[in-house]
A and B are shown apart, each in its own frame.
Chain A
Amino acid sequence: MPDPMKIRANQLGDATEVKVLMSHEMETGQRKDAQGKVIPAWFIQSVDVTCAGKTVLTAQWGTAVSKNPFLSFRFKGGNKGDKVVITWVDNRGEKRTDEATVA
C-alpha cells in the first residue's frame, strides 16, 4: 500500500490553490544496481484531481518527474469545505487516492 499524499487546498479569493506531495520512487529504469542490473522503471503515470466531483486537472507523467513529486496549481469555482480528491496511478497499476477539504 503506497503512502498517503500530503494535500493542501486553500481558498485564496476566487481561486482555490492546491499543493500536493506524493510519496513515490519515480525510478527512471535507466539506473543500475550495485550488481549492474537495470532497476526497472517505476513511476506515476497519471494524476487526476477533482473538486466537488468536477475534474480540475489531469496529468500524464514520465520518468523525468522528480522522486516524491510535488505539484501546485489553482482553479476557480471551488469553495471552502469542498472536497479535493487526488488519485495517482503508476506503471505497475498501483494507485492511491487521498482527499483534503478546501480551507
Chain B
Amino acid sequence: MDVIDPTRRKVLAHGASLSLLTLVAAAGWLETSPVRAAAWNAAAFDAHSMDDTVKALHGSTPVASKDVTFVATPDIAENGAVVPVTVVSAVPKTESIAILVEKNPNMLAAVFDIPAGTDPSITTRVKMAQTSNVYALVKADGKYYVASKEIKVTLGGCGG
C-alpha cells in the first residue's frame, strides 16, 4: 500500500469496502470459521466512530484513563503502511484491548481478548491513511477505558 498516493487517499476517504464486507458476511462464511473465538464482529469493524465501535462491541461509553498507555509507539511514522503500536493496560481485570485509528475509513484495527494469565500488553503494527489520533480502548471488569496518542504520518521518498 502506498499511502502517499493522493488518488489512493481519495479512495480511502470513500470507504468503498463496506458493502463488500457486508456481502461476504451475509454469505455465511463466518459460521464456518473453526476458530474458537467469537465470530468476527463485522459491525464493529465497519464502524466509523468510537461510539459506533463501542456499541457494536456491546460496550459502554469509555472514560479516559491514565492506566492505559502507549509504549514504544513513535510520534512519527516514517511510513503509514506500518505503524508499530504497543498498548499496555494497568487497569485491573483487563479483558480486552482494542486499537482504533480515528482517521482511517473504518476506525477499528484490531481487538485482542486477554484471558487471565496473559499480560494486558499487546504489540502489533497497523496502517494509517494519514496523520491521526490512535486510540487504545480497554475493557476491564465490564467497563471501557480509553487513551489516545497522535501519530504523524510523513511523506517520504524521492519519486512521490
Given contact pairs A28-B1, A61-B110, A65-B127, A46 touches B121 in the complex (Cβ within 8 A)? no
Contact B36–A55 (Cβ < 8 Å): yes
A63-103 vs B: 1/0 string, CB under 8 Å? 11111011111111100000000010101010100000000
Contact B17–A71 (Cβ < 8 Å): no
**Interface residue stretch chosen among B59-67, B112-120, B138-146, B148-156:** B112-120
Q: Is A35 an interface residue (CB 8 A)?
A: no
| B residues 117-131 touching A (CB-CB < 8 Å) | 117-119, 121-128
Number of chain A residues close to chain B: CB under 8 A? 41
Contact A48–B35 (Cβ < 8 Å): yes
Q: Is B90 an interface residue (CB 8 A)?
A: no
Smallest distance from the beta carbon of A55 to chain B beta carbons, Å? 6
Number of chain B residues close to chain A: CB under 8 A? 50
| Nearest CB in chain A to that of B127: its residue | A64
| Nearest CB in chain B to that of A74: its residue | B119
Given contact pairs A30-B105, A57-B113, A65 touches B20 in the complex (Cβ within 8 A)? no
Which chain B residues have a beta carbon within 8 Å of chain A's beta carbons? 1, 7-8, 11-12, 14-17, 20-21, 24, 29, 32-38, 40-41, 44-45, 81-83, 101, 104-106, 108-115, 117-119, 121-128
CB pairs A–B below 8 angstroms (11 shown)? A30-B17, A31-B8, A31-B11, A41-B21, A48-B36, A58-B37, A62-B106, A64-B127, A71-B124, A89-B34, A91-B29
